[in-house]
Chain A
Amino acid sequence: MSAYFQILCDFVWVATTLALVAFSLGLILGELKIVNVAQGDLMMVGAYSMYVLRDLPFPLALLLTFVVGLVLGLALERGVLRWVYDKGFMTTLLASWGVGMVLEQAAAAIFSVSQKGLDPPLAGQIVVGAFAYPTYRIAVSVGVVVLLAALLALVYRTSVGLRLRASIDNVQMAALMGVSPQRTFALVFAVATALAVLAGALVAPTLAITPTMGLSYLAPSFFAVMIARQGSLAGPIAGAIAVEFVFTVLQAYLNVTLAESILFGLLALFIAIKPQGVSWSWKKAGKETQ
């Protein structure tokens, strides 16, 4: 029984952080139509930021790191991405790849490549009967779930979110309605960057902090976004949960390498069969014009 609790908690831990990264990726893909392959490196920035601020109280460091993320996102959007929007899908992909490379190398230059470590602010475990699970992980999982719920509420229940969704759906139309594309792009990218940075900051105490630490999150978050409908914002979250669920099940019975290989294979198959993704919404969609 305890084994199942363990698996459940592991699943929630990974799925929540993955969902956060996937949400930020989906935000960028939906609004800016850019595949941001530097998302993993943004996580790395968050981790290093927490390392630099490790002597401050954890919540304060987290807040400052979030601000760092906003600033970085703004700088990247205005400095690099703005020039490549109209140059095609591949150019934006390659530009973001270049950005990721520069971020990695900058981190290596500043911090050297040796692994850094950070202690979790909450040591110890929560014990329920025979079952014990690290307190930090549970706290973060709960926190991220709350954050995601708040984000979804923001997107689907507020006028700000409405403007965002309008802009995602049809930029020119939304512009005519008064939603400035430039400001929206910059703001969205900044927030999405900050969310990825935050995700990295939250996982930092559990891993080795290296310049290439973000790469292992890249592929799963991509898949999570791709199996959802493009432009959907709740979709990537559901996608992350689905991807992680399948992976957890596979991992429980097979060794990890085989589980990963099967996961990739399944995802490739899924994308081949259903390229437009799955519409996770159960609401009846409105009228679509040809």
Chain B
Amino acid sequence: MISPATNERTGAHAARREAAGPSRPGRLLVAALVVAAALAPFVLNEFKVGLIALSLAYGLFAIGLDLAWGRAGIISIGHAVFFGLGVYGVAIALNGGGSALLGAAAGVALAATLGAALAAAGLRRAANPSTMAVLTLAVTLLAEKIARSWWSVTGGSTGIFVAPLASTDVYYWFCLAATVVVAGALWLFALRRPFGARLVAIRLNSQRAEHLGVPVHRERVVAFALSAALSALAGCVAAPLMSSVSPDRVGVVLSTQVLVWTAIGGKATMLGPILGAVAATYGQDALATRLGDSYLLLLGVLFIGSVLLFPAGVAGPFHSGPLVVDSGANAGPAPRRQPAAGDALLCQAIVKRFSGNVVLDGVDLRVGAGEIVCLIGPNGAGKSTLLGILSGAVAADAGAVALAGRRIEAEPPHARVAAGLARTFQVPSLFPGLSVGEHLILARQEAGGRVTLPEAYARLEREQRERRVEDLSLSDRRSLEIAMALCSSPTTLLLDEPAAGLARAEANRLAATLRALRDELGCAIVCVEHDMEIVRDLADRIVCLHRGRIISEGSMDAVSADPEVRRAYLGMA
């Protein structure tokens, strides 16, 4: 399944491995590693201890990057800027005789601010993956130039000499503790919570996440800013280990290296980035002495090989189990929604142009509370565009939209969901690799609690909870979409060709289910449909669109007899 817009394509089985936490053997492994690491100073010489300490700091840096890349799916090929801000913050502070803590705080704050600014600019709706890539690349190149030229502050290309803050062994334990504590805190307080679940949703299918009510852009900015802060923190820890803080620590080479460590170690795992960083830093030193000049060539070949053959990285196999777990925060009932007073949905004078082509030319639509309206019309009439404008995925050029009396045309999709609008898509927009149960957990999380689902959907959840969406039939996938939509107690449901691709019997069942839904829940339904039998069964009122205008409204008989409608469907005959 290919997720649209700014997400990476994620193979279903790869998603399986990027779990929210390690399995049992994984946890034991982590514990064993921490214990072994704590004993290192008793076994290894001072240099090696210092090297491992530095690589742990790099591991923390890689975890910071992984939060943005592995978890939130944001591309950054300039993450060393944030790391470098932490490093330089501490180095400049110490060099000037100030407090290292103050320098660290300044570095982290600056990094978080810069990260938020970059994400806010680079992850907007109009952007594609390359935008963030080039933006972060530009920033890292700029940072390196500034670091190199601004001698008075950064020491230029020579850099700043940082004296060690404590004995090597003591600082090593500090690094180990910092890595474990920070990584653990991240896992417990961010990734295991709704925030982490939202990131999974955003990464797998940001469009569906947004239409569940997740404020996608805001969460991405937060994730990126947090990632930047973590990377800067890692830099602060690393500074006293480096001896010399030079401009290459903010540049594109280190930015690429941390991507490599994370990729090889295993994205979206806690252990993977650390393993990758330690193996690379330690291994590079070992290889450099053994192989001399050709180790870089070997590294390049190794890297290509691992990217091709082991996309999940080294730690991948240790992670299994569900991606999304119920944090238990949403066990109670969802907050009640006020029943709609007046019209469920109203839009006036909607105009939409695409590059000079007018797709919607002054559309007025009124949907009463609890009314089922079917939108019909030949291809290219603008039906899907209208749905997009109603749900917020597309911005109208002119016109107003009101939901239960409240103007929403300026609001993003997730706000409209919160206001009571829900939508399904022509091709069911679901989260690849997740199970039915996980989908519903996410939907309930955004709704803030549980609602009682109608029997048809409750049965789907009961019987197919563990099944992944790839293994569901088309009609079950559509049902899941509707079930998720229902979790938010919508006052208005937008359905885009819900019967497309269904067999006759399934389609009829769907129509019956939808009518029952409306009777039970009182929500209005706007349904784009081509299948006239379904339309006849389902609709209270039919609206026919043609070339961006409504040419007919009314009952099935009235509309089907309208000569304008016939002309639209059949041509001038």
Contact = CB atoms under 8 A, between A and B. Distances in A.
Interface of A: 29, 35, 80, 83-84, 86-91, 93-95, 97-99, 101-102, 104-106, 108-109, 219, 222-223, 226, 230, 257-258, 260-261, 264-265, 267-268, 271-273, 275-276, 284-290
Given A94-B303, A101-B300, A264-B142, A29 B130 contact: yes
B255 to A, nearest CB: 11
Contact of A95 (B131, B148, B299, B304): B304
Contacts of B142: 261, 264-265, 268
A246 to B, nearest CB: 14
Interface string B51-84: 0000000000000000001000001010000000
Contact of A261 (B130, B146, B311): B146
Do most interface residues of chain A lie in helix, strand or loop, or is the interface mixed? helix
Contacts of A91: 263, 307, 311
Nearest to B382: A290
Interface string B111-141: 0000000100110101111110111011101
Given A90-B263, A273-B121, 15 more contacts: A29-B130, A89-B8, A89-B130, A98-B300, A102-B301, A108-B297, A222-B134, A223-B134, A271-B135, A272-B121, A272-B135, A275-B126, A275-B128, A285-B356, A286-B355
B139 A268 contact: yes
B260 interface: yes
Given A105-B296, A226-B130, A97 B137 contact: no
14 contacts: A84-B307, A87-B11, A87-B311, A88-B9, A95-B304, A98-B300, A226-B130, A257-B145, A261-B146, A261-B149, A268-B139, A271-B134, A276-B127, A285-B356
A97 B146 contact: no
Contact of A88 (B8, B137, B301): B8
Q: Which interface residue of B256, B308, B359 has the most chain A CB atoms within 10 A?
A: B308
Contact of A276 (B126, B141, B303, B357): B126
B47 interface: no
Q: Which 10 A-B pairs have the closest CB atoms?
A: A272-B121, A101-B300, A105-B297, A88-B8, A98-B304, A275-B127, A275-B131, A285-B355, A268-B138, A102-B300
Nearest to A103: B300
A182 to B, nearest CB: 18
Contact of B131 (A84, A97, A226): A226
B289 interface: no
B294 A105 contact: yes
A28 B146 CA distance: 31
A239 to B, nearest CB: 12
Interface residues of B, number: 55
A76 B256 CA distance: 21
B202 interface: no
Contacts of B356: 284-285
A161 B307 CA distance: 33
B135 A88 contact: no
B557 interface: no
Contacts of B299: 101
Contacts of A271: 122, 131, 134-135, 138
B9 A90 contact: no
B42 interface: no
Nearest to B352: A290
A222 B126 contact: no
B23 interface: no
Q: Which interface residue of B124, B129, B134, B355 has the most chain A CB atoms within 10 A?
A: B134
A257 B385 CA distance: 49
A98 B300 CA distance: 5
A268 B131 CA distance: 10
B388 interface: yes
A223 B300 contact: no
B394 interface: yes
B141 A84 contact: no
A36 to B, nearest CB: 12
B243 to A, nearest CB: 25
A264 B145 contact: yes
A208 to B, nearest CB: 20
Contacts of B293: 108-109
Contacts of B303: 94, 97-98, 101
Given A89-B129, A97-B256, A230-B130, A84 B137 contact: no
A173 to B, nearest CB: 15
A171 to B, nearest CB: 12
B75 A290 contact: no
Contacts of A90: 8, 69, 75, 259, 263
Given A267-B138, A275-B126, A94 B300 contact: no
Contacts of A105: 294, 296-297, 300
A226 B380 CA distance: 31
Contacts of B130: 29, 35, 89, 226, 230
Interface string B325-367: 0000000000000000000000000000011110100000000
B508 interface: no
Contacts of B394: 290
A119 to B, nearest CB: 29
B304 A275 contact: no
B560 interface: no
Given A106-B297, A288-B354, A261 B145 contact: yes
Contact of B304 (A102, A230, A287): A102
B320 interface: no
Contacts of A265: 138, 142
A272 B394 CA distance: 20
A108 B296 CA distance: 10
Nearest to A258: B149
